[in-house]
Amino acid sequence: MEQKITEMIIHMSHSHGQIARIIDAERQVAVRMAQIIHSIPDADPDFDGTDGLIENTGRINKSVVAYLNSIADLEEAMAENLELVIKELKVQDEE
């Protein structure tokens, strides 16, 4: 039984590592977008009018929201997996 729990923990560890890599990639996109925004001049920027400005702002907001949602999904997955491991450990302690 301990071997199965150990294998589950190893598998979850690898899964969390892959999720973390994906989130890091999304973080890098969000950081780069923030750098681009920071480099935009404050005076008379040319965004193809108000429509272009709204469109670009929407894209940036979507990127930030996707990154934050990914972090939330990672936290939720880790909590669910940790809950299963703790339940298995409690069952083992009772035996």
- pTM more than 0.75: no
Q: Into how many domains does the chain fold? A: 1
Q: Which residues of 59-72 are buried (b: 16+ CB within 10 A; e: fewer)?
A: eeeebeeebeebee
Determine the structural domain holding residue 10 and report its residue range: 2-94
Give CA angle at 85 (3, 87), nearest 5°.
115
Q: What angle do CA 86, 92, 93 make, to 5 degrees?
A: 90
pLDDT digit string (tens) for the chain, length 95 residues: 678 888 888 888 888 888 888 888 888 888 888 888 887 777 766 667 778 778 888 888 888 888 888 888 888 888 888 888 888 878 777 76
Q: How far is CA 32 from the centre of its chain?
A: 16
